[in-house]
Amino acid sequence: MVFFLPKKDDNTIARTKVLENVLTSTSQGDPYKELWRRIWKATVPGKVQIYVWRACSNLLPTRAKLSTKGYQGDLQCLLCSHAYEDTSHVFCKCPIATAILTASPFNLGSSLLPSLEFKEWLLDHARNLPNDLFAKLLMILWALWKNRNNMLWNHTKQSAEELVLSSLAWLEEFGKANKINKTALSKPKQAWRPAGYGTWKLNVDGSFLPGIAHGGVRGVLHDDAGQFRAAFAAPIPAVASTRQVELWAIKEGLKLVATMQVSNIIIETDCLEAVSCIAETQFTYVHDEGIIDDIRQELNHRTDISVQHTSRVNNRVAHCLANLAFEARHSSMWFMKPPDFIVGVLNDDCKHLR
Ligand SMILES: [Zn+2]
């Protein structure tokens, strides 16, 4: 078995821990299983999932937490001067938190009981809130922590209204970039399938958020029996469009295929525009000219490789690496053994094949 991982950044480590936690909890009947599942499944940026998971695990450096590690300074809340700043205070009891959470669309006033630990409180909402509202709640929790840190480091803070507007605007942008057709998900004929005898399949995907210069690409390679063979994830320092980042994903995919020295590959992307501009012989997209030429050149040499369009649903595993690639600072490749954090989605995708 060849198993290679480069130096991990903090987010990758935290993320892997999240999944380890989910897996361990599943086997041991952890009462918080539903909470971890909802955090992990929520359609919110990876950074937000990690911060909320850290908050639940009491790993955020609140002043109360720091005092258990030798900090002897002030324990007061940075925002309201309450005597003791712990996780529950920051997220549920500080006036800015209660102002937001008791108002629409959350209306969680009755749940802000002093007796509940933050983790129990969030578990309760993980069980009861619909997906969209739970995702919004995660965004707000992240924004409350960021606001507290801004006060600590920059002596600036947002009003409740500004905080809600900015975090929910980000969620909306993120949602657009990650929209998954849920209707298609429920149709069995839409399920991911291996390419067929003698042909391997590489699903690639790219992530790009308007207004953010960098993006990320990733891909997963399966053999003709649907077995995992390899995956890659890589940051792209400068991207200008979805099409461009998807083209990068194809280019990086071709690199993986070359590294593995395998033949007969179908590369699947959910970006129809990328597929058509590679196939196009007349018109050239000026901005992406170089990368399109690179891809065409490689494909001219490799007649055993074709690039095809697939629905986003069929591209779920590649998509699952989205946040990782988006936030990663290093390129990674995995051979033979999938990275832990996509195991769940891989199993889900392939269970109809067993
Ligand atoms: Zn406070």
Q: Is the pLDDT assigned to residue 2 strictly greater than 50? A: no
**Residue 305 belongs to some domain of the structure:** yes
Q: Is the pLDDT assigned to residue 231 strictly greater than 60? A: yes
User: Terminus-to-terminus CA distance in the chain, angstroms?
Assistant: 23
**Residue 18 belongs to some domain of the structure:** no
**Best CA proximity match to 218, nearest among 197, 196, 203:** 203
Same domain for 200 and 126? no
pLDDT value for 240: 83
Q: Residue length, the chain?
A: 354
For residue 162, the tally of other CB atoms under 10 A from its CB is 12
The pocket of ion ligand 1, defined by CB under 5 A, consists of: 77, 79-80, 82, 94
The last residue of one of the domains, among 142, 177, 212, is: 177
DSSP secondary structure code for residue 302 in this structure: -
**Residue 194 belongs to some domain of the structure:** yes
Across 22-36, 134-148, 316-330, which has the greatest mean pLDDT? 134-148
**How close is the Cα of 95 to the center of ligand 1, in Å?**
6
Same domain for 155 and 206? no
pLDDT value for 227: 87
Q: Is the pLDDT assigned to residue 94 strictly greater than 50? A: yes
**Residue 1 belongs to some domain of the structure:** no
Q: Is the pLDDT assigned to residue 160 strictly greater than 90? A: yes
The last residue of one of the domains, among 177, 201, 229, is: 177
The enclosing domain of 196 has a CATH number of 3.30.420.10
**How close is the Cα of 98 to the center of ligand 1, in Å?**
10
**How close is the Cα of 38 to the center of ligand 1, in Å?**
27
C-alpha dihedral sign at 323, 324, 328, 330: negative
Contacts of 123 (CB under 8 A, 6+ apart): 31, 32, 34, 35
**How close is the Cα of 81 to the center of ligand 1, in Å?**
6
> What is the domain extent for residue 140?
31-177
Same domain for 163 and 195? no
Same domain for 227 and 125? no
Higher pLDDT, 207 or 98: 98
Same domain for 160 and 195? no
**How close is the Cα of 170 to the center of ligand 1, in Å?**
24
**Residue 22 belongs to some domain of the structure:** no
**How close is the Cα of 96 to the center of ligand 1, in Å?**
8
Same domain for 169 and 244? no
Q: At what angle do helices 46-56 and 33-41 cross, to 10 degrees?
A: 160
**Residue 331 belongs to some domain of the structure:** yes
pLDDT value for 182: 44
* Residue whose pair of structure tokens reads 């998900």 in the numeric block: 185
pLDDT value for 333: 81
CA 269 to each of CA 180, 217, 290, 309, 319: distance values in angstroms, whole numbers, following the listed order: 14, 11, 19, 5, 10
**Residue 274 belongs to some domain of the structure:** yes
Same domain for 239 and 122? no
Q: Is the pLDDT assigned to residue 183 strictly greater than 60? A: no
Collapsing DSSP to helix, strand or coil, 306 comes out as strand
**Residue 15 belongs to some domain of the structure:** no
Average pLDDT, the chain: 80
The total of structural domains in the chain comes to 2
Phi, psi at 313, each rounded to 5°: -60, -40
Q: What is the DSSP string of 250-299?
A: HHHHHHHHHHHT--SEEEEES-HHHHHHHH-SS---GGGHHHHHHHHHHH
Environment class of residue 231 by beta-carbon count within 10 Å: exposed (0-12), middle (13-18) or buried (19+)?
buried
Higher pLDDT, 152 or 274: 152
Same domain for 78 and 196? no
The last residue of one of the domains, among 133, 156, 177, is: 177
